[in-house]
Amino acid sequence: MKAAIIHIRALRILREAGYAEQQAHTAGQQPRPNTALLPALPWPAPRVAEGGTANVEHLPEDLLPDARPFIKEGAMDDCSLVSEVAERCKFSGKRLDRVLRALIPLSRFVELRVLHIGLRSRPPKWVRVTETGFIALGLTPPESTRPGAQCLHRFWLERVARKLRKLGYVKVLIDTAVAGKRVDVVALTADGQWDGFEVELQDAQKDLVHNVTEDLTACNLARVTVLVTTRSQAKKAARTLKEQLTKDLLARVGIEPLGKYL
């Protein structure tokens, strides 16, 4: 009986919505959805920004209290490790687990992804606040807000640069142009030589050979290190470079796991 009543109400809503659309079409107007007939949603109604038409989404009012500061801390960087954000928020154990579960349905505000880097233990996760998330927090989205795949690449560039600075490199540049070619990371050694680092997240062997060759010849970098995610990828890269590079160039190339730079 209850299911029948719900079905009848749904049919009535559809009929009335269709009638409203037909009336608008007859008057030569663009049909608008009859929002008064739609059921209330758990999300607050989008508001129109002053002077514009862009909708601004808001975080749900019933959001877990600990989730909001976690998202704000995550917005401090392009993307961070979950463990780092949790440490800054002083969340751990079950408290952190509750926060992460609360963020799963909020993917349009904040992304949680696993770093597949071939680790034997449980792989780490990274967190990234999206452009929608920045606006919902009342913050200006950075220019570096990117789609997920590109952001993951940027995440690794930042990680590599941070590690190289700790290792004593005098100057480190990210995604910069050298002799007309873009290199993921270039770093200046204490003796005045520039080293290059290429982050390879996929098995793009053809592009790998081209990138390394250009880095060593056109860019005249002293050494190039290829950073890969898995052991199998490292083996493929080593085999490909050995087959297609001269011995002189090959002597200036190294291959390392990305996990080393976490």
C-alpha–C-alpha distance, residues 71 and 92, integer Å: 15
Residue position matching structure tokens 């913050």 = 139
| Domain spans in the chain, listed from the N-terminal domain onward | 1-38, 67-145, 150-261
Mean pLDDT on 216-230: 93
Residue 121's pLDDT band (boundaries 50, 70, 90)? Answer: low
CATH topology identical between 67-145 and 150-261? no
Q: Which amino acid is at 117?
A: I
In this prediction, residue 147 carries a pLDDT of 53
Q: With beta carbons less than 8 A apart as the criterion, state whether 112 and 103 touch.
A: yes
Domain 150-261 part of CATH 3.40.120? no
Which H or E element spans position 155? Answer: helix 148-166
Of 81-85, 93-97, 113-117, 166-170, minimum mean pLDDT range = 113-117
Compute the mean pLDDT over every residue in the chain, rounded to the nearest whole number.
78
Residue with more model confidence, 171 or 33? 171
CA neighbor of 202 nearest in space, from 165, 244, 153, 238: 153
pLDDT of the residue at 80: 84
**Residues above pLDDT 90, as percent of the chain:** 45
Whether the pLDDT of residue 256 is over 90: the answer is yes
Class of domain 67-145: mainly alpha
- Residue with the bigger pLDDT between 139 and 94: it is 94
Residue 214 to residues 180, 223, 249: CA-CA distances in angstroms? 10, 12, 11
Let me know: does 190 contact 203? Beta carbons within 8 Å: no
Stretch 155-171: mean pLDDT: 92
Q: How many angstroms separate the first and last alpha carbons of the chain?
A: 59
- The DSSP letter of residue 259 is G
Q: Which of helix, strand or coil describes residue 181?
A: strand
**What are 175-202's pLDDT values in tens digits?**
888 988 999 999 999 999 999 999 988 7
Pull the structure tokens for residue 125: 């996760």
Could you tell me the pTM of the whole model?
0.64
The backbone region for 168, taken as left when phi is positive above 0, alpha when psi lies in -120 to 50, beta otherwise, is left
Q: Region of 6 please: left (phi>0), alpha (psi -120 to 50) or beta.
A: alpha
Instruction: Give the confidence band of 149 by pLDDT, cuts at 50, 70, 90.
Output: low
Instruction: State the alpha helices, DSSP H only, in 67-147.
Output: 67-74, 82-89, 93-103, 131-136
pLDDT confidence tier of residue 160, bands split at 50, 70 and 90: very high
Per-residue pLDDT for 34 more than 60? no
